[in-house]
């Protein structure tokens, strides 16, 4: 078996192993949380107490073993104290320590196991949106804080006003400012439990105003967070795409303004191994650059493999015809997609790139039918600065 095939099998096996571990982790988490919740149901908790306790202890054992393995000193990994002080390390500690400690300090079993809800924190590091949310809140802290101050002002002013207007008629609900604050919070957040309702005309007018302010305040917060998310997402995508674009040798030769222009145009596509990227006979509206991984162009009598740095899908863009071959990834690969409209405008400004792609397309077409050996290499753009 060739070294290439062995590498491919190892990468698939590594991916399977990581995926299997994640699935087991999620199953343990789901079973543990279900057992914790079942314990709080009086009938079920009493009848199946032993089974539920065994399940919970097994889950805790799993998380303890995970913590031990991850913090075990080994070459190339973070030292144990450093791991335990990192975000994921602290989460692993929180999943394991509080329950035995609570039991040790004499908390009732049912109460101690409620701390199993902390196991949910284990999902935090694998949810990319959470780190994004943290970054957005950090970036938009000032506008968010300004809206929060408006919220507080409306809250306090309306609570004081309602206290003034309603305290005589409803002393139990508006008799003090803290009591009125409860009404103000439920009204400003447009929750409106209906347990405290102003009865005077003026009081109702203020309530209407507070509700409208509430909608405005939450609209502002939503707008700030939404634009923050979009901007951060664009920033991250740009940085990732920049790295990918400059990792493609064929594109690396472009000057910085062109790389910026292309980075904005290219869309990243992460694919698992053995995924069909383009299918022979289908219309083509984009071409692909291989940032990492490898694809196989299924040609007769012998397929051609294209590695990182190469491109494909250009025939359809150059002659407007259907795809001439099916292209499949042979391993997990990252591709960069250039849509036909962007291809046209970019190559119009960069004739040297158009020339290189056309020359390579012509070479590929003339190579059809000739015996092929090994990998196809990526062409370089002539006459450009090399960073
Ligand atoms: P397109 O026809 O759009 O879609 C299939 C792609 O396979 C094609 O563009 C080329 O990019 C690629 N391809 C076709 N023939 C060859 C070849 N001989 N060597 C390398 N790539 C090829």
Q: Which pLDDT score is estimated for 382?
A: 45
User: Ligand 1: which of 277, 284, 290, 324 to mutate, most ligand atoms within 8 Å of CB?
Assistant: 324
CA torsion sign for 313, 315, 319, 324 is negative
What number does the ligand 1 atom closest to the CA of 287 have?
3
- Averaged over successive runs of 10 residues, the pLDDT of the chain (387 residues) comes to 61 71 92 94 82 95 92 66 84 94 94 96 82 88 95 96 96 96 94 92 96 95 94 86 79 80 89 94 93 92 90 92 94 93 90 86 78 49 40
| Secondary structure string (H, E, C) spanning 151-194 | HHHHHHHHHHHHHHHHCCCCHHHHCCHHHHHHHHHHHHCCCCCC
Q: Measured between alpha carbons, how far is 321 from 302 in angstroms, rounded to an integer? A: 22
Cα 202 to ligand 1 centre (Å): 76
Q: Identify the helix (H) or strand (E) that includes residue 289.
A: strand 286-292
Contact 330, 296 (CB under 8 A): yes
Is 316 close to ligand 1, i.e. is its CB under 6 Å away?
yes
Cα 306 to ligand 1 centre (Å): 10
Helix (H, G, I), strand (E, B), or coil: what is residue 309?
coil
Cα 266 to ligand 1 centre (Å): 20
Cα 265 to ligand 1 centre (Å): 22
Is 278 close to ligand 1, i.e. is its CB under 6 Å away?
yes
Atom 11 of ligand 1: nearest residue by CA position = 312
Q: Which pLDDT score is estimated for 195?
A: 92
Is 328 close to ligand 1, i.e. is its CB under 6 Å away?
no
Atom 20 of ligand 1: nearest residue by CA position = 364
Q: Which two tokens stand for residue 385?
A: 């600065």
Give phi and psi for 302, each to the nearest 5. Answer: -135, 130
Q: Cβ of 251: how many Cβ atoms within 10 Å?
A: 24
pTM above 0.85, yes or no: no
Nearest residue to 203 (alpha-carbon basis) of 244, 162, 172, 241: 162
Cα 243 to ligand 1 centre (Å): 25
Q: Which pLDDT score is estimated for 373?
A: 43
Cα 298 to ligand 1 centre (Å): 9
Is 288 close to ligand 1, i.e. is its CB under 6 Å away?
no
């Amino acid at each position: 078996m060739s070294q290439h095939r062995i590498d491919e099998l190892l990468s698939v096996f590594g991916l399977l192993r990581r995926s299997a571990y994640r699935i087991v982790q999620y199953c343990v988490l789901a079973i543990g949380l279900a057992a914790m919740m079942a314990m709080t149901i009086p009938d079920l908790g009493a009848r199946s107490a032993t089974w539920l306790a065994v399940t919970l202890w097994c889950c805790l054992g799993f998380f303890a073993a995970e913590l031990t393995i991850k913090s075990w000193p080994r070459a190339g990994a973070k030292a144990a104290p450093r791991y335990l002080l990192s975000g994921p390390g602290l989460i692993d500690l929180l999943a394991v320590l509080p329950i035995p400690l609570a039991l040790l300090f004499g908390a009732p079993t049912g109460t101690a196991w409620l701390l199993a809800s902390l196991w949910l924190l284990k999902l935090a590091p694998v949810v990319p949106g959470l780190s994004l949310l943290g970054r957005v809140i950090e970036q938009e802290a000032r506008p968010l804080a300004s809206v929060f101050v408006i919220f507080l002002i409306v809250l306090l002013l309306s609570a004081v006003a309602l206290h003034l207007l309603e305290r005589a008629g409803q002393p139990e609900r508006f008799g003090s400012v803290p009591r009125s604050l409860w009404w103000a919070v439920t009204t400003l957040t447009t929750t409106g439990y209906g347990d405290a309702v102003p009865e005077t005309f003026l009081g109702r007018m203020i309530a209407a105003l507070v509700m409208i302010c509430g909608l405005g305040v939450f609209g502002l917060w939503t707008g700030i967070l939404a634009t923050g998310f979009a901007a951060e997402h664009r920033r991250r995508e740009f940085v990732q795409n920049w790295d990918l674009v400059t990792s493609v040798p064929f594109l690396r030769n472009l000057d910085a303004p062109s790389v910026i222009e292309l980075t904005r145009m290219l869309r990243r596509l992460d694919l698992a191994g053995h995924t069909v990227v383009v299918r022979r006979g289908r219309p083509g509206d984009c071409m692909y650059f291989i940032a990492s991984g490898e694809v196989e162009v299924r040609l007769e009598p012998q397929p051609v493999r294209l590695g990182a740095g190469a491109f494909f899908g250009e025939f359809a863009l150059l002659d407007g015809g259907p795809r001439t071959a099916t292209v499949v990834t042979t391993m997990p690969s990252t591709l960069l997609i250039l849509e036909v409209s962007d291809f046209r405008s970019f190559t119009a400004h960069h004739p040297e790139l158009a020339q290189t792609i056309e020359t390579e397309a012509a070479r590929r077409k003339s190579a059809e039918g000739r015996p092929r050996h090994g990998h196809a290499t990526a062409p370089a753009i002539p006459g450009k600065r090399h960073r």
